[in-house]
Structure 1
Amino acid sequence: MSVTHPGGVQDLTPLWAGEGFPADVRTALQTTTDVATHSTPVVVARRVSPGARALLSESGVSWADEAGALELTAGTIFIRTPGNPSDARMTPPQRFTAAAGAMAEILLQRAAEGDQRVPTVAELADAVGASRGAASRALTFFDMQGWTSNLGPQRGPTARRELTERGAMLDAWGAWHAAGDDTVVHAHAVIRDADVWLSDVVARHWPAGAWAATGLVGLERRAPFATTTNPIDVYLDATAYDDDLDALLQVAGLTRTDSGIRVRILRGDRYVLRQASTTSTDSPYPLVSDVRLYGDLLRRGGVRADEFAMHLREIRIGF
C-alpha cells in the first residue's frame, strides 16, 4: 500500500504478527529482508502488547494494530496514536460455567506448551471432574465463540478440534477468573524468605500433590518482576482444606488472622493441582500452571495486577 503526503508517496509493506506478543513480532521481523528497499515495513497485529511495542521501538520499526494503535515513521511522516487501551478485565462471557472455565484453562495451558489440539469430550470431562454432557456443552460454547473449530468431519473417529483463537480465549477466561470469588483462610507467620519457607517448611509437612503456590511468589519464580512476594498465596486440595486445614496450619507455623496477613490458603480444585504437578520443574516446590498463575495475578495481584499478569503473559505464555 502507499501513503500520499506533501513530500511525495511512501510505500508501506505490512508484516503480520498475529496476536502481537514479542515472540510473534520477532517472527514477523525475520521477514523484513523480503521488503523492497524503497518500502517501509509495518508490523501489524490484533493487539501489539507493551513488550512488543518496546521491542519495535528499539528496532525502529513501525507498527499498527486492530485496536487502532499506531506508530509510523516513514520518510518525513511520523504518526503516533494510542488507540483504545486493552482491558484484561473486560466483561466476561455470560455463558462460562465452572466446567467450561476449567476446560478453557486446560486448553490454554496445552496451547502455551505448544499443543493446540482439543482432547475428546471424555478426556476433558475426566480431567476436570465434570459430566460428559457438561464437557460437550462447554466445547459447543467454545465453538460458538470462535475459539475452537472442527478440523475434518464433524463426527467419527477422524473428527477433531483445535484451539484456533487462543489469545481471545485467554482474554475471556482471564476476565471470568478475575471476577470470581475465593474460599480462603488468612494466616500469619514470621517468614523471612518465601522460597525457604515453602521448600523447607510447607513441602516437608504438607502432603505431596495436595498443594501448590501461586500469585506473587509464583511470578517471582517464573518471570521475576514484582518487588515483593507478600502475601504468599497457596492452593490446598479441597479435601485437605475441608478436613485437615487446622492441623496443616499448625505444622506450618501459621495462625489464622484478620490483619497482618502473610499467607492466604486457597481451597483448590483437584485439576488445578494436577496441572501444577506437571509444570513446576522450575521450582523447588510446586507451582500452578502459567495460565492459572496469569488468572490469579489478575484476581489477587493488587493495584499492579494487570501489569504483573501481562508481564507473565508476554514472557511465559506468548499469546
Structure 2
Amino acid sequence: MVDFSKVRAIDFHTHAEESCGCHADDGYDELQSTMAKYFGAPWNHPPTIPETAAHYREMNIAAVIFPVDAERETGYRRYSNYEVAEACAKEDDILIPFASIDPHKGKLGAREARDLVANYGVQGFKFHPTMQGFYPNDRMAYDLYEAIAETGKPALFHTGQTGVGSGMKGGNGMRLKYSNPMYIDDLAVDFPDMPIILAHPSFPWQEEALSVATHKPNVYIDLSGWSPKYFPEILIRYSNTLLKKKMLFGSDWPMIAPEKWLDAFDKQNFKDEVRPLILKENAMRLLGVTG
C-alpha cells in the first residue's frame, strides 16, 4: 500500500506500456516511437512497469497507471488488465492500478470491470475515445459505465487533441472528434455518483471542459499531457479559484517525466494554497484514501 503521508505528490496519469518488441507484428512500436518524437521523450522504447515504479519511487511520487484497450479500433493488441494489475501488485508501495476496457465489449467488459475491482485491486478505469473509436455518451458504453458506477471507482477519459498518431498519415486513423469533453457531460448527468476525470488541457475545447467540471460535482480535470508552461491563462485562473479542489497533477509518463512537469509547474502562477491541492490532496480525496 502507498503511504500517502510520505509521498510528495500523486501523478494521476501514467501509461503502462509493454516493453520493446512486444508489438512488432502490428505496428505499435512505430506508433510509440513517432509519439515519442512528438513529445521529445528521451527513450528508445517505453519503460516497463518495474522501470516506471523505480523512477517514481526515486522521485517519491505515487502514480496512477493504466494501459489502453484499443485493439478493436486500432488492431494493436492490448496489454492485459490482469497482467498490469499483477505487475502493479509487486510495486504497490508506489503504483495505483487502473484498467482499460473497450466499451464495445458490452456486458463482457462489464463483467471484467467488476472482477478487476473485486479480485485484482484495480482502483479506476481509463478511456481514450479517439483511440477506441467511440463517443463517450454512446449508449452502447452504458453497460460498462453501470458496472464501474457500482464499484464506486473513478472513470478517466482522454479529452482534446492527442499526440497519438500525430504527424502520421491520416493521423493513423485517429479521429479527434470523439474526445470533445462536452460528450462527457451526458455521463455526469446519467451517472452522478461516478467520479469522472477529464484528462489533459482539452485543446481546442478548453472552455467546454471547464464548463462541465464547474457545473457537475462529480467531474474533475487532470493536467497531464502538456507542460504547465503551455497552459492557457483561463485554465490557471479556474485552477486557482472555482476548480481548485477538482484539479489533479498528471504527467502523461512516459511521454512527459513527472519531474519535468513539476519543474514547469513551480514556475507558473498557481497560488501557494492551491499547489498542495493539485499535487496531492485532491487526488487523495478522489481515491478515498487518507494520509
Normalised to the residue count of structure 1, the TM-score between the two structures is 0.24
Larger Rg: 1
> What is the TM-score normalised by the length of structure 2?
0.26
Structure showing the higher strand proportion among its residues? 1
Larger RCO: Structure 1 or Structure 2 (Cα < 8 Å, ≥ 6 residues apart)? 2
